[in-house]
Structure 1
Amino acid sequence: MDAMMMDAMSAEMKMPGMEMMDMGAMQACMDACSACEQACTVCSMQMMDCAPACMNCADMCNTMMRGMMRMQGMTPAVMMSMLDACMSMCQYAMDKCMEHAEMSEVCRMCAQSCKACMDACMAMRESMMKMAS
């Protein structure tokens, strides 16, 4: 998403508790979710035992990204719960992919993408916690 879209979203955010959303952290999180979704989708086609975890992770990342773009009805507590779920799913997929990382470049890259997504979700969550205090 480009800067103009993020500026427009920021101007429209008038929901209680979400007025001070860190749009940079949100954009980084959406980008990481998108990259992780794509990597997990490719990885799931390899027919290794990480495929189910990767498919579920791709779905979770897509849901997280769509939720952040929608915003209406999204409360800080709900968003934090979604971020936690996304981080958990990324951790599980990353762990499964790391089992094959030495023999599969796709699994190695997928694991890296899952880690980047977890980091971006954590940064988003920490940003929200700072704004709440």
Structure 2
Amino acid sequence: MDARMMDAMSGETMMMPGMSTMDSQLLQACMDACAACEQACTVSSTQEMSCAPACMNCADMCNTMLRSMLRMQGMTPAAMMSMLDACIAMCEACEDECLEHAGHSAVCEMCAQACRACADACLALKDSMMAAA
């Protein structure tokens, strides 16, 4: 995340409408994982394999999740939870598809790992939000 954005997030937590606080480190980890997953899925989608559609869909979802987190002022907790659920589901579906090719494709193996990391980061952020609610 941009240093200016991090400066705007004071301390360990930040405010979100409808919630007392949000862990900025978990938010940062989720944003970083979404960006990495988007990049991995984009690279993987250029391979001539059956997982390309799942990779393209996952890349789009991660990009949408990242953009939504960057403009959190308009995001309600319910909408954020739904977005996180969608991102987790898309990452898991893409991971499953890429794992089918991971044995003979380093790109698919990398993509599957990025998808798993993104799903885990989104789940950690969601759990943190649920605990703070």
Q: TM-score, normalised by structure 2?
A: 0.92
Q: 1:14 to 1:130 in 2, by over 3 A?
A: closer
Per-residue CA distance 1:33-79 (angstroms, 9 max, x = gap):
00000000000000200000000000000000000000122011100
Which residue identity lines up with residue 5 of structure 2 in the other structure? M
In the alignment, structure 1 segments of 5+ residues that lack a partner are none
Which residue does the alignment assign to 1:5? 5
Residue 93 of structure 1 aligns with which residue? 94
SS at match of 1:21: strand
What is the root-mean-square deviation of aligned Cα atoms in Å? 1.6
Aligned mates of 1:93, 1:85 — CA distance in 2: 12
Q: Give the TM-score normalised by structure 1.
A: 0.92
2-structure distance, mates of 1:26, 1:15: 12
Would you say 1:64 and 2:51 are equivalent positions? Answer: no
2:18 aligned residue = 17
Letter in 2 for 1:5: M
- Please give the alpha-carbon distance, in whole angstroms, between the structure 2 residues aligned to 1:37 and 1:21: 23
Structure 2 letter corresponding to 1:102: G
Evaluate the alpha carbon distance shift between residue 14 and residue 124 of structure 1 in structure 2; reply closer, same or farther with a 3 A threshold: closer
2:15 & 2:115 partners in 1: Cα distance? 31
Q: Distance in 2 between matches of 1:5 and 1:88?
A: 27
User: Does structure 1 residue 119 correspond to structure 2 residue 102?
Assistant: no
Deviation at 1:105, TM superposition (A): 0.4
> Equivalent residue for 2:50?
49
Opposite residue 115 of structure 2, the aligned amino acid is C
1:16 Cα offset (Å)? 2.7
Structure with more of its chain in strand, by fraction: 2
Fraction of identical pairs, as percent = 70
After superposition, the C-alpha distances for 1:64-114 in whole angstroms (9 at most, x for unaligned) are 000000012201110000000000000000000000000000000100000
- Supply the AA of the counterpart residue of 1:100: H
Question: 8 Å contact 2:17–2:75 — kept in the other structure?
Answer: no
What amino acid is aligned across from residue 29 of structure 2 in structure 1?
A: A
How far apart are 1:19 and its partner, in Å? Answer: 4.2
The 3-state SS of whatever aligns with 2:73 is coil
SS in 2 for 1:101: coil
* Matched letter for residue 130 of structure 1: A
In 2, distance between residues paired with 1:105 and 1:17?
43
The runs of at least 4 aligned residues of structure 1 exceeding 3 Å deviation read none
